[in-house]
A and B are shown apart, each in its own frame.
Chain A
Amino acid sequence: MSPTDDRVGAPNDRVPADGVPDDRVRDDRVRDDRSSDHYTCDLAVVGGGPAGVAGALTAALRGLSVVLVDSGARLGGQYFRHPPGAARASTPGLDRFLRQARALGERAEVLLGHQVWTVTRDGDRLTVHCQTPDGRAVAIRCRDLLIATGAHDRPLPFPGWDLPGVLTAGGAQALLKGNGVVAGGRVVVAGTGPFLLPVATGLAGAGAEVLGVFEANGGLGLARHPVLAAGKAGEAAGYGLAMARHRVPYRTHQAVIAAHGERGLESVTVARLDADWNVLATRELACDTLAVGYGFVPQIELGVELGCETRQDADGMPVLAVDGHQRTTAHGVWAAGEPVGVGGRYLAELEGRIAGLAVAGEPVPGVLARRRRRMRAFGEALHHAYPVKPGWQGWLRDDTLVCRCEEVPVARVRAALELGATDARSVKLLARPGMGWCQGRVCGYAVACLAGESPRPPRRPIAQPISLGALADLELKLDTP
């Protein structure tokens, strides 16, 4: 097949029908010893979404030995999250992705349910350290590493946002796509960005009463949505039709600025906003569920720890800097998809393919490079159309939690700033936001904004909670020549 062929891999009937490569199927080329949990390969890929699967398959089809590792129970990442078995959500492109996943299962080692907690370097070799849910340590030695770790929701704090029933938009989507669970009965969708539309139409289509989509930006309305302007008329029209069919109101320049309830969500305060998101007027809306999201946080910590240079994307988020071949500035380290800038699943898959070709030492066809540039420009246009405006800080009260893990209220963050903290790091040291279980993934953006700076690249030497035993095991190996 030619590199410009739209298919990354061909369908194959030797793998289970749900597209999940059997975890027990081992490729003897890459496993060091049948009894051990150590692998050696040309390319290790972290992340089993569209970027990781395309990159792994492209490289495997060119003869490289490949190990792909993902924390989920099935391949797909966030976009192609799907339940087991034949039942399919109506995610566009899922069938094609599952064909790629099957093809990959034939040609590479796929390790599911593995959490990567660090990557170490030893000369020109890298070792990916993972942990299984039952605490087993797994190490993958490789020459090249592709970081395809995706992104997670970027929440903003507001009063009551930690009440049960308040979910991230991605969380509501994960419940529906991966579990077939409709997040609630009377649902409000709020935040900013085009992602709110599939979340709302998905919930409405599955039987929820969606009381409204409150888009804090906009003013153009759905008819002149940037997705339309970029020529994705079909996609935007599809959401528009679904919103109309289910009678879901789409309200621009409005936001949920507070959530209320005793032991769970009972109502929200919806506000009309000015262009900077200052509140003009408010009303109450009774609901049992809120799905809220203000863009995404690319997951880049593995690259940061390996010394990859970062750049600031148009939405203010630090992302890994890559060249036209998806190569980062760290030797042997490549990145594709959201970790190099949020741009959606088409771009993620394309970048995965480019990385796979480049790792295999093959030229990247001009048509792929041009398509990539076009999609990147579109992603940047969306960032500019859906920024986070500073008025959200006016929604906060003194007792509004900023850090959910350590239960740090706004007042303590402001006290730290008054004590002389001049950046997010010193706020963290004084007031503890970002020191809990999530390591600042949820509150990091908000704390940076409150400290008056752009979010910095996260430093998380240990990217996932691990047992002391696993850590001690690594120290032992590092110390032993």
Chain B
Amino acid sequence: MTFQITIDGRAVPVEPGQTIGAALHAAGVRAWRTTRFGGRPRGLFCGIGVCFDCLITVNGRPPERACLLEARPGDEVTTA
């Protein structure tokens, strides 16, 4: 059954088993952080846990790789 997570309060649908990164990408959200120096937008790149571009804050925890982290109902992603 499809469920929802949120990114900055906005609902994003998730198919069971999808990663947070995949669900956001599928919903058209392709960037969720900016780089330290250049402020460049970043989202998925390698997709398999190697590049760390897709680091994301979920439920207030320290940054994790969105491409590896399986979404759970009610997960709250924050980008600021």
Contact = CB atoms under 8 A, between A and B. Distances in A.
The secondary structure that dominates the A interface is loop
A174 B48 contact: yes
Contact of A164 (B31, B48, B51, B69): B31
A192 B18 CA distance: 29
A219 interface: no
Contact of A162 (B26, B40, B69): B40
B51 A442 contact: yes
A441 to B, nearest CB: 5
B46 interface: yes
The secondary structure that dominates the B interface is loop
A84 interface: yes
Nearest to B36: A407
Interface stretch (A179-187, A222-230, A278-286, A345-353): A179-187
Interface stretch (A6-14, A165-173, A448-456): A165-173
Contacts of B16: 84-85
A24 interface: no
Interface size bracket, A side? 35 or more
Contact of A167 (B26, B31, B41, B45): B45
A166 B40 CA distance: 13
Contact of A181 (B22, B31, B36, B46): B22
Nearest to A83: B17
A171 B67 CA distance: 9
A436 interface: yes
A477 interface: no
Nearest to B14: A179
A181 B52 CA distance: 20
A83 B70 CA distance: 11
Contact of B43 (A84, A164, A437): A164
Contacts of A437: 51-52, 55
Nearest to A265: B30
B44 A442 contact: no
B68 A175 contact: no
A183 B52 contact: no
B11 interface: no
7 contacts: A162-B42, A174-B47, A179-B17, A179-B23, A263-B41, A437-B55, A441-B51
List 6 A-B pairs, minimum CB-CB distance, nearest first: A171-B47, A437-B52, A179-B22, A84-B17, A164-B30, A174-B47
Interface of A: 71-73, 78, 83-85, 133, 152-153, 162-168, 170-175, 178-183, 263-264, 404-405, 407, 436-438, 441-442
Given A170-B46, A181-B26, 11 more contacts: A72-B68, A83-B15, A164-B30, A171-B46, A172-B47, A179-B23, A181-B22, A182-B26, A263-B41, A404-B45, A442-B50
